[in-house]
Amino acid sequence: MADIAVINKVDSAEPSKVEEVRKNIETHNPKAEILLADSAILVEGADQIKGKRVLVVEDGPTLTHGEMMYGAGVIAAQRYGAANLVDPRPFITGKIKETTTFDASDFRNIVPRFTPEARRANQALVELKSGKIRGAKVLLIA
């Protein structure tokens, strides 16, 4: 297997989870050298965050495919002293559907988030927010 295994995000992960990953690597790849890595988060204008209400907009594989409840934007807001995070759920309207068409000059025609496939996937969030999925709980949608 691998000569080196890198455990990333150790600066933001729970120590017990990092240790769990370490043990799994040692079990399944005992000869690998294990390196620990922080996940650097750089924010332009970070000094403006302190004490403010912050809306974090995140889009990435960690959230959309990795089933993470939050990403680097939330961590950045917390690290730089946000007073609190603005909950975006009240603003989810569900008005853009999978079948919605945009004017030819609309920028959304070239943004991956607005492909029909992405809009279909996002519909689950709208249904979750609107209570159409019974028993589900929303921890954070950002």
Considering the domain boundaries, does residue 132 fall inside one? no
User: Does residue 22 belong to any structural domain of this protein?
Assistant: yes
Give the integer Cα–Cα distance in Å for 46 and 43: 5
Q: State the pLDDT at residue 139.
A: 45
Contacts of 88 (CB under 8 A, 6+ apart): 55, 57, 141, 142
Domain extent at residue 29: 1-40
Residue 35 within any structural domain of the chain = yes
**Rounded Cα–Cα distance for residues 45 and 47 (Å):** 5
Number of folded domains that form the chain: 1
**Signed CA dihedral, 86, 90, 93, 94: sign only:** positive
In a domain? residue 14: yes
Separation of first and last alpha carbons in the chain:
36
Which CA distances in Å does 73 have to 94, 116, 139, 141?
23, 25, 15, 12
pTM of the predicted model as reported, rounded to 2 decimal places = 0.52
pLDDT digit string, tens, across residues 23-77: 999 999 999 999 999 988 889 999 999 999 998 877 666 665 666 778 888 889 9
Percent of the chain's residues with pLDDT above 90: 37
Q: What is the pLDDT of residue 106?
A: 81
φ/ψ (deg, to 5) at 34? -100, 125
